Structure 1
Amino acid sequence: MTERRAFDGIVVLDLSQVYNGPYCTLLLGQLGAEIIKIEPFRGEPVRWRVVGEQQTAAFDLLNGGKKSLRLDLKNPRGRELFLRLVSRADVVVENFAPGTLQRLSLGYEVLAQANERIILASGRGYGASTPQAEMRAMDLTIQAVTGVMATTGRPDQPPTKAGPAVADFFGGTHLMGAVAAALYQRTVTGRGQHVEVAMQDAVTPSLASSIAGHLDSGGTLPERTGNRHGGLAVCPYNVYPASDGWVAILCMTDGHWQSLCRLMDRADLAGDPAYASPPARVAQMDKLDEIVAMWTGQLNRDAIVGRLQAAGVPCAAVLGLPDVMAGPLVGADGMIRPVRGAGDHPAYVFGSPLRLADSPPLPAEAAPDLGEHTEEILVRRLGLDASEVRELRDENIV
């Protein structure tokens, strides 16, 4: 049987940059779409943001397997070439500052004139109905306005950004979902459409525990709870010391709590009505955290995790980045895949978290050099000959 993937035959013109849009197109590409990354002459910002001439690891991670076309969209001829590509494509993805496509005379109405089936997918910072809709946004600013920073850190410390770029990647994931929905709807209507996803909207549901805690308590709970449950509704729920590091442990159910008590040899706690329900345990949170920490501090991480897992109690060792890069997430079928980049230098690209039984994963490929596929794309997709490509290069259009 011929191997096919979910988005085989779909052509995506990727105008996006940094993390939000490139993650959307990475996911589409890993399901079979052909991704043509269209960049300005100096490349997108993430390529060279570290001092030096070698492209950054961040660019490598998010752009594996894409094709790179260098194109000046501000030049009328470059714009004309782009619209010719649009006429033969399925999706355009962008996450420019608000109004950028309109200033380039490449808004959705113009794209739809070139191809009524085109889907324009726009990654935005703020929701269209919010006062900030026209403001520029980055992951940090979205964390600031959505409550992510206010709910991250300890109560006696300033608001802290989340370590991961949660707004960028939640936004990119939701944008990919919107593209998939629009492609499906096109099979019914025969038309494309403009889809938008605001990072502000995409990240807000992840605050469910904190928002619920705020509502349920009438606004009396602290916003920042450190490593404790965001709504302070679960206990034990924390990061506890081991003899060689740290372990995250949580007891979501009474059964988890009873199992933990048996492991700690604390039958007195298991049978004590003062700890018999989630609210009762939450009321004694400081005391219980101290008790659990006394037990974990006597054991190493592996011993704690082994015993808790065997008893069915949710837990995990807290791993640093060196541990992660030396662990099972890295490998040919992992989420972080080793490849050989330009000049045969070692690099990594992200794998896909989307697992479809009938859409096998693509082999990992390195991120492209800037403009690496320019001639291939112009010749194969637009039918230009070598002399025309040379002329475009000479005029600094490609």
Structure 2
Amino acid sequence: MSATSISETTMTDASTPLPLAPYKVLDLTRVRAGPTAVRQLADWGADVIKIEEPVAPSRETEMGGMRLGPDYQNLHRNKRSLTLDLKSDEGREVLFTLAREADVIVENFRPDVKDRLGIGYDTLRGINPRIVYASISGFGQDGPYARRPGYDQIIQGMTGMMSVTGLPGHGPVRAGIAIADTAAGLYGAMGILMALLERERTGKGQWIQTSLLEALLAMMDFQSARWLVAGEIPQQAGNDHPTIIPTGVFDTQDGKVNICVSGAVMWERLCRTLDRAAWLTDPRFLTNKDRSKHRDALNAELRAIFATQTNAHWIGLLNPAGLACGAVNTVDQAFADPQVQHLGIRWPVRHDTLGDIALVGQPYRSNLHTSGVRSVAPMPGEHNDQILRAAGLSPDTINALRSRHVI
């Protein structure tokens, strides 16, 4: 399949290189956590070479269909693809050739696989002492669970994430996104950038490691800290905040709204804005501790109030009063929101096969640079010749590798 194109609306100014443009990344990752880490580097300009197994002719159609799906297009934009059989001596030699000039290698194999393949950190460091080698796994590179398969839902259960998600009394619930994978990917990217910064000072690379298990425990943040610091075991609170009252979802005449009333000042504002000054002296609601004890009674009164008007009424009343209130949207409604449109996190793309689509953009920006989609997700081996010629391999050598199914 020919290379795909993108619309001019997502192009970045070629005269102003993106911040990570000087760096070359070898991407050995699969599934989600690793690709999430590498996407952060690719979107901000790194030259990412996605290295993957050669596709058998019988699987080309199947793989092509998968590549055109929303998830793949979103995870693998701004990369080039090289197919390479890392189980073969010739394939490993090609990887070593690329590694000599690379800055970063990212992998998310099970911990023992990279060493069995002969492409572990010690081997690559011997080839290039400046290499930043990042490993993302389910449970860490060593320890009793190191060789277990690690998937997002399993980690959500093991970390306690599911125990604090959902309605009280209804049993544990998984988060509606792959939060462990995403957390590990983002922490992995942060570790890579830290290592690159230190290399500027020392000239030495290093091995960065993270896992879904520790990343999600870190992402749980205050819930984890409640146990570690105060000895509290967090429980399910549903749409109520576990410690800030009142916080929750309330039905209106035409939808649902969220409110979050944090602290005494906000509580007083809410009472006065809703014309319920009597609540300020009601012994059930005097302090956050009191409101937590009587949250069912307070929520019942709030439900009766919010049911009398529309979403727009309550959002228009509470926000100007300095109170946090917002609609409970579906995903399509979220992307139609005027503030979301203003922020530009929807990146429009023209795809040769899919037509006009959009991808999820970067959630942070710079006053000096504009990130965007420079190329859509590649097909397997789309850039084989281009990458290998740049690495110094002759056309005859490339053809020989192809004939032996090394690429």
Q: TM-score of the superposition, structure 1-length normalised? A: 0.91
Equivalent pair of 2:335/2:341 in contact (CA under 8 Å): no
Q: Structure 1 residues 53, 65: closer, same or farther in 2, change over 3 A?
A: closer
Amino acid at match of 2:295: M
Instruction: Kindly indicate whether the alpha-carbon contact (under 8 Å) linking 1:93 and 1:120 is maintained by their aligned counterparts in 2.
Output: yes
| Letter in structure 2 aligned against 1:192 | G
- Cα drift, residue 359 of structure 1: 3.6
Deviations 1:317-356 (A, max 9, x none): 1111221343458769632322122425333333112323
Give the secondary structure class of the aligned counterpart of 1:343: coil
Q: TM-score, normalised by structure 2?
A: 0.89
2:206 paired with 1:206: no
Q: Which residue of 2 is the match for residue 339 of structure 1?
A: 349
- Corresponding residue for residue 76 of structure 1: 89
The change in CA–CA distance for 1:279 and 1:215 in structure 2 (over 3 A counts) is: farther
1:384 matched to 2:396? The reply is no
- Give the drift of 1:132: 1.7
- After superposition, the Cα gap between the structure-2 partners of 1:49 and 1:24, relative to the gap in structure 1 and judged at 3 Å, is farther
Q: Give the 3 Å change call, closer, same or farther, for CA 213–111 of structure 1 in structure 2.
A: closer
Distance, in Å, in 2 between the alignment partners of 1:98 and 1:129 is: 8
2:237 is aligned to 225
**Given the alignment of the two structures, is residue 86 of structure 1 paired with residue 99 of structure 2, yes or no?**
yes
- Structure 1 residue aligned with 2:282, among 272, 280, 286? 272
Larger relative contact order (CA 8 Å, sep ≥ 6): 2
Shift of 1:190: 1.2
| Pair 1:51–1:77, CA change in 2 (3 A) | closer
| 2:381 paired with 1:371 | yes
Contact 1:73 1:104 in 2 (8 A): yes
2:151 maps to what in 1? Answer: 138
Q: Equivalent of 1:192, from 205, 210, 218?
A: 205
In structure 2, the partner of 1:18 is: 31
From the superposition, tell whether residues 333 and 86 of structure 1 become closer, same or farther in structure 2 (CA, over 3 Å).
farther
SS at match of 1:38: strand
Shift of 1:203: 1.5
Q: In the alignment, is the contact (CA less than 8 A) between 1:332 and 1:338 conserved in 2? A: no
Contact 1:341–1:367 (Cα < 8 Å) also in 2: no
Q: Which ranges of structure 1 fall in alignment gaps of 5 or more residues?
A: none
1:349 is matched with 359
Distance 2:66 2:123 in 1: 37
Secondary structure (helix, strand or coil) at the match of 2:245 reads: coil
Mean CA deviation greater in 67-76 or 128-137: 128-137
Between the aligned partners of 2:374 and 2:342, the Cα distance in structure 1 is 7
SS across alignment from 2:268 = helix
Q: CA deviation at 1:131?
A: 2.9
C-alpha distance in structure 2 between counterparts of 1:253 and 1:162, whole Å: 27
1:33 aligned residue:
46
- 1:286 maps to which residue? 296
Instruction: Provide the rounded CA distance (Å) in 1 between the counterparts of 2:315 and 2:63.
Output: 38
Deviations 1:72-100 (A, max 9, x none): 11121111101100011000011112211
Q: CA deviation at 1:216?
A: 7.7
CA contact (8 A) 1:48 1:56 kept: no
The Cα of 1:138 is off from its aligned counterpart by 1.1
Indicate the percent of aligned positions where both proteins have the same amino acid: 32
Cα deviation digits, residues 172-224 of structure 1 (max 9, x gap): 111011001111111122111111011211111332343455578755x6621
Q: CA deviation at 1:54?
A: 5.7
